[in-house]
Structure 1
């Protein structure tokens, strides 16, 4: 294959099957980064890890820093509609030709070294950020932290949004082990923002002590307070009172505020208090239509679905019925995800996503609180079925995997790649 002449789509198809020769080693990724001088930047770097809320924190950081006149590079994953969503510079997605340029450079440096798809595209993002000379880089961790490609850069501030159970087969089956993996993004003599509101596992403290990383923790070094109609953020540097509520979890907004307050970057605090809200992030409690109201959310683990269920319950009395279109990958905590919606959802349309059909149906049926449900092999059929009975006064909630939400976005012709 003559790689110099590959189109953008041909490159995507070429790299999507890449795997590391050794899943427990970043050596090849680091070697490629060294060749291209991608380990050290003049840019200020945030690396954002955690179980949930990573994308929201990244988006909020980007929005505030752009308003504060910085040239910002943002790298997130996964994408909803197309690969182009993964990298933004100054709030815009790049033309495909720029991605092709980055792919060529990474491939030339890679030669025969074995790396994964995620490693490859992370390196390409770093290449583009250096090429465009951005002032600030925001990197969302793909999985864990310790072995993630985003951990190779010398970040200024590490962020862990929370620590919960997900990807247990890779990260470990205890919060101690999961936290140890996530703390792999900590850097020596730097700062780490911790948004975990439960008891913080000892592995966070031991890693921080080893690296002399300064931990800035919620309810210790910074706080957020809920009031009846407003909320407050309080840290040593910033004290904001009477902030308006948002559809984004306050803890995620607060994590971003805490990180910015410790960054020493110039921030237009007037923007934080008056112009930040409302916040609309694709696939995160996205209201995309009215009459009937349609909400999309990529809640794909029990922690995220718990928050989503609370938000839906708050507004449930406004609607005659609430319909759910849900697709969950086989390894996810099905019971933990759906049980949060007991007494909230009237009708369920379950989508079989590469699962053992009998096993999945048995899992649904054992949950006796389901009264009205159907099974479908694709999102389109599940979606079409909803409209046989839905009225303008109902609510349709689409949630679960990114696959499910992205397919509904395609059905609704929602374009976020602008």
Structure 2
């Protein structure tokens, strides 16, 4: 099959086979192909990294900029259902034909250079954005920062939302080591924003060592407010009487603050009015981040897959009020700190519906059951028991079981890997459940 005859799905299947490793951090290969493709941006670029909160921060930036009338490119990963979700122009996913054209260009330019799936697709989307004449481009870092493919672009503003333990096989086993990797997206003389209230010293020291213009939460920007509204205070700009972001959850004001700090830093190039900020925050939408679906029983979708995110999910669940029973549809990758996630959630879940996931590196439902039992979760599989642990071969099956057992006043929390949430979203979309 010639490359020009490949559909998007065929291209994506092909890209899985190009490189011997699914993940290989480093910039030499991807930078070489970027230079051949001549990728450069004439508009402001905001790069967003961090352990948790990246997607929410990107979504708020996009929403506010669109409300202000700017033409915006947004790159995020991973996707939930369709690959096209990763590349958005003016709030809409890019169509298959536009992506295929860029894949062909990257394939022609790479020659003998071997690229991972993420590197190849990142280059394709960067080239698409560079050619599209945007007013602003927002790029979400995939993994870490310093050696992530997105870091071939010198951002005008770089945000690190939070630093916690995740991807430790690649980034290190302490917040200090991970903080240094995240800080790799900062640039000399350019704005570097950290939304973590307790930033690792390595992040601060690296920013100072390269003479980045470091903005710290609590020192350079902050928030105040009450139950009705909140205020942002930056270095030289205040935003008062703001409505709470449409994205629900305990940490969204931290994410919103980091986004507003980035826009304050770019105010001369991208001026934005007060009402446009208010509208952007109220209208922002991001599936799978403490997303509470309408109807009964209550269904919560959340891609919480590390202890830090699970602690936030637990706090958000506590804030929802009383529900007689909580069902959990949970599946995760085996390289995640599953026991750490369980520790945060075990006291909030009555019935665990564990699922296998369709990837070799996924933890089996049975292995998660063993970790629940090791954590002291005592449950019975007998019908009508107060506590249960059951296992399923797919998120759709696990969700269908939870739905069949939950009363209308109960709730179902679907969390863990993106694949867990995506599997349930697809099942709901197709009418299986």
Q: Deviations over 1:281-300 (max 9, x none)?
A: 11111122311121111011
- Contact 1:293-1:395 at 8 Å conserved across structures: yes
Which residue number corresponds to residue 399 of structure 1? 415
- Pairing 1:11–2:20 present: no
Aligned-residue offset at 1:158: 0.5
The change in CA–CA distance for 1:2 and 1:269 in structure 2 (over 3 A counts) is same
Aligned-residue offset at 1:80: 0.2
The change in CA–CA distance for 1:212 and 1:313 in structure 2 (over 3 A counts) is same
Return the alpha-carbon distance in structure 2 between the equivalents of residues 242 and 314 of structure 1.
23
- Pairing 1:219–2:243 present: no
Which residue number corresponds to residue 141 of structure 2? 141
Secondary structure of the 1:364 match is: helix
Return the alpha-carbon distance in structure 2 between the equivalents of residues 359 and 81 of structure 1.
26
Q: Deviations over 1:318-359 (max 9, x none)?
A: x33221111121111112212222432221111134335654
Return the alpha-carbon distance in structure 2 between the equivalents of residues 134 and 255 of structure 1.
22
Secondary structure of the 1:315 match is: coil
Which residue number corresponds to residue 238 of structure 2? 239
Return the alpha-carbon distance in structure 2 between the equivalents of residues 332 and 24 of structure 1.
18
The number of residues matched between the two structures is: 412
Aligned-residue offset at 1:51: 0.2
- Contact 2:355-2:364 at 8 Å conserved across structures: no
Which residue number corresponds to residue 367 of structure 1? 375
Moved more, 148-157 or 371-380: 371-380
The change in CA–CA distance for 1:190 and 1:370 in structure 2 (over 3 A counts) is farther
Which residue number corresponds to residue 263 of structure 2? 260
Return the alpha-carbon distance in structure 1 between the equivalents of residues 102 and 344 of structure 2.
43
Secondary structure of the 1:11 match is: helix
- Pairing 1:251–2:250 present: no
Which residue number corresponds to residue 114 of structure 2? 114
Which residue number corresponds to residue 30 of structure 1? 31
Which residue number corresponds to residue 382 of structure 2? none
Moved more, 3-12 or 115-124: 3-12
- Contact 1:20-1:115 at 8 Å conserved across structures: no
Which residue number corresponds to residue 197 of structure 2? 197
Return the alpha-carbon distance in structure 2 between the equivalents of residues 274 and 8 of structure 1.
35
Return the alpha-carbon distance in structure 2 between the equivalents of residues 24 and 399 of structure 1.
27
Give me the TM-score of the superposition, normalised by structure 1.
0.93
Return the alpha-carbon distance in structure 2 between the equivalents of residues 176 and 414 of structure 1.
44
Return the alpha-carbon distance in structure 2 between the equivalents of residues 91 and 333 of structure 1.
34
Give me the TM-score of the superposition, normalised by structure 2.
0.90
Which residue number corresponds to residue 345 of structure 1? 349
Which residue number corresponds to residue 293 of structure 1? 298
Secondary structure of the 2:31 match is: helix
- Pairing 1:377–2:409 present: no
Aligned-residue offset at 1:242: 3.7
Return the alpha-carbon distance in structure 2 between the equivalents of residues 204 and 115 of structure 1.
29
Secondary structure of the 2:407 match is: coil
Aligned-residue offset at 1:173: 0.9
Aligned-residue offset at 1:275: 5.7
Return the alpha-carbon distance in structure 2 between the equivalents of residues 310 and 414 of structure 1.
31
Aligned-residue offset at 1:227: 2.5
Secondary structure of the 1:260 match is: helix
The change in CA–CA distance for 1:274 and 1:110 in structure 2 (over 3 A counts) is closer
- Over the residues paired in the alignment, what is the CA RMSD in angstroms? 2.0
- Contact 1:67-1:268 at 8 Å conserved across structures: no
Secondary structure of the 1:224 match is: strand
Show structure 1 runs of 4+ deviating over 6 A. Answer: none
Return the alpha-carbon distance in structure 2 between the equivalents of residues 273 and 289 of structure 1.
24
The change in CA–CA distance for 1:242 and 1:343 in structure 2 (over 3 A counts) is farther
Return the alpha-carbon distance in structure 2 between the equivalents of residues 156 and 186 of structure 1.
9
- Contact 1:280-1:286 at 8 Å conserved across structures: no
Q: Deviations over 1:235-286 (max 9, x none)?
A: 1232233433341421111111111111122112212235622543111111
Secondary structure of the 1:316 match is: coil
